[in-house]
Amino acid sequence: MLRVRDPFSEAVCAIRRRVRAGRYVLGERLAITELALDLELSATPIREALARLAGEGLIEERRGQGYFAWRLDSVDLLELYALQELYLRFSLERSRAGSLSALKMEAWESAEEAFEDIVGWSANAALGRANRLLADRLAAPRLAEPFAFETQVDDLDALRAGRDVDDLLAAVEAYHARRITAAGMIIPVLRSLPQPVADIFPR
């Protein structure tokens, strides 16, 4: 069966992948014509995709100037980590009466997956949407984190080891404390990572 092409969805997914991969971290302008050529799409779906992603808050729209990637510096990163910790604390406190068996802890393969599961546990749809956007904003810094820490700690194992909500809260706090302390190093490392010639995530 012939698959019908959806240029708008292709553009949204491709630009989101590039943001998550750290292709745009310096606040650069996202030129519609260049993206259209690069993604082999017409300008219309690119323009619509950029408007959609700006509406989500993943990129910035400047009236009369176009679309830009958010500039990310260590202060921004500190605020993003602190915000994620607040989301997780709220989710865990809201779900405190429930059993941790509702979480798929043994299946967590990344902190991002763990945090999505924890926020989902709160059954707060608005928080879930906000957390997905935050995960997109933090995806690129997470690529740099392993290179910025002086000592390697298995944060995911610490998260999985929680026996109750208080244990999990402590692991979440420790996870974010390490990153907040290292934020000043994470951004320079991120900016020094080689940029992929092609998308690192398949279409």
pLDDT in tens, 73-132: 899 999 999 999 999 999 999 998 888 889 999 999 999 999 999 999 999 999 999 999
Residues 6+ apart with CB under 8 A from 102: 95, 121
Residues 6+ apart with CB under 8 A from 20: 136, 139, 140, 201
Residues across the chain = 203
pLDDT tens profile 59-77: 999 999 999 998 888 999 9
Flag whether pLDDT at 9 surpasses 80. Answer: yes
CA distance 59 to 63: 13
- Report, as an integer, the average pLDDT of 134-140: 92
* Residue recorded with tokens 């992929």: 196
Pick the CATH number of 7-68 from 3.40.50.300, 1.20.1290.10, 2.40.30.10, 1.10.10.10: 1.10.10.10
Report the percentage of the chain scoring pLDDT > 70.
94
CA distance 18 to 59: 11
* 3-class DSSP state of 26: strand
Give the H or E element holding residue 60.
Answer: strand 60-62
Domain boundaries, the chain: 7-68, 74-192
- Report, as an integer, the average pLDDT of 134-144: 92
Please state whether the predicted TM-score (pTM) of the whole model is above 0.85.
no
Supply the pLDDT for residue 17: 92
* Mean pLDDT value across the chain: 89
CA distance 95 to 12: 33
